[in-house]
Amino acid sequence: MTEIVIWLIAFALILFFSIKLWKTSVSAGLNKVMPRVIKSDDDNRWVWSIALAVLGATTLVRPIDMLLTAIVIAILALIVKKLAGWAMGKANFH
């Protein structure tokens, strides 16, 4: 029960501050790391703020789970990249 309460408080605070500081810092920070296709607009501020709040609150409450998830995703991405490179090398485009 305590974990849920801490998560809800962290979620509410992160959501509040990300919406409040959208123009000054959050939007600029997202635009630096995101590709041009999915750049953040004012229309997407609620979607991005909720996503950041969920990730932030979960990272605060369960940091090891988030770290292990990130490691698994990175390993899978590396395997997919290596398999794609191998398949492109084996493919005959002539």
- The pair of three-digit structure tokens given for residue 67, joined into one six-digit string: 């770290």
pLDDT of residue 94: 63
Number of Cβ atoms within 10 Å of the Cβ of 7: 16
Of 6, 21, 77, which is closest to residue 52 (Cα–Cα)?
21
Q: Are residues 88 and 54 in contact, defined by beta-carbon separation less than 8 angstroms?
A: no
Does residue 82 carry a pLDDT above 80? yes
Q: What is the pLDDT of residues 15-63, one digit of tens each?
A: 999 989 888 888 778 778 777 767 656 678 888 889 999 999 999 999 9
CA dihedral 52, 56, 62, 68 (to 10 degrees): 60
pLDDT of residue 91: 81
- Numbers of helices and strands, H then E, in the chain: 4, 0
